[in-house]
Structure 1
Amino acid sequence: MDLYLHAVIYQIIADLENASIHYIIYARYFFFGQQMFGYEPVYLNKNSVRDVSLSEDSLRCRMMLDAGNSEESFSILIPFDFIREIKKVSGDSVGTGQTLFLQGKMEEVDSFYTFKKGIKH
């Protein structure tokens, strides 16, 4: 169990109340029951996510298919062990942002210290 990763996940969930805060999680997640083979991005913000739930080893949520139509959504499951990177981004700079978690490295991010398990990039 990576306690720092759990702290970041809890912060993401708390920040989903604020429409100006956005996150990108790069992970091998499950989408329509199929596991993604690469580390694909999942974009999270107040307008894209519904019904967030946590288990001891994963994050599950419903993602909106169309931000203008809140009735259509799909479920994704993100196992914590399959998360490679988490970035906090502003709405106008989706490609860049503050890295909060990067699996495989130890680094200081603002006032946070992260320890990650060794995956080579």
Structure 2
Amino acid sequence: MPCRTGAVLSAFQGPDPAQDTELSRCGEPPWETKVEASHPAIPHTELSGGEEMYEYELQQIRSAELIRRAEHQRLVREAIRSGRAARREAAERAAGNEADTRRPRRNRSPRTA
């Protein structure tokens, strides 16, 4: 239901309070003004050449950042694996050295109360 106003508003002069109320409400929901109702928003799919280039550059930046993150995660996983392998080898060498000693690893007598 469109509102009708007989007043033409100048770009340099604001509306008086009565017109402002009419323009802002117009019988529509309070969040939709008369101007918003008469001029629907341009969908995001219609981009001009400059905006398409900007979107393309943003996509390239995001892609490069994802590639850097993936490479960093691969390096972290490789470092963790090599650390585990080194600890495993050290544990095997330590276990091999302990087998040569004839003493028990722990005291076999139970603790007294």
Report the TM range for the smaller structure's normalisation. Answer: under 0.3
Give TM-score scaled by structure 1 length: 0.17
Give TM-score scaled by structure 2 length: 0.18
Structure number with greater Rg is 2
Higher strand share: 1
Higher helix share: 2
Higher relative contact order by CA 8 Å / sep ≥ 6: 1 or 2?
1
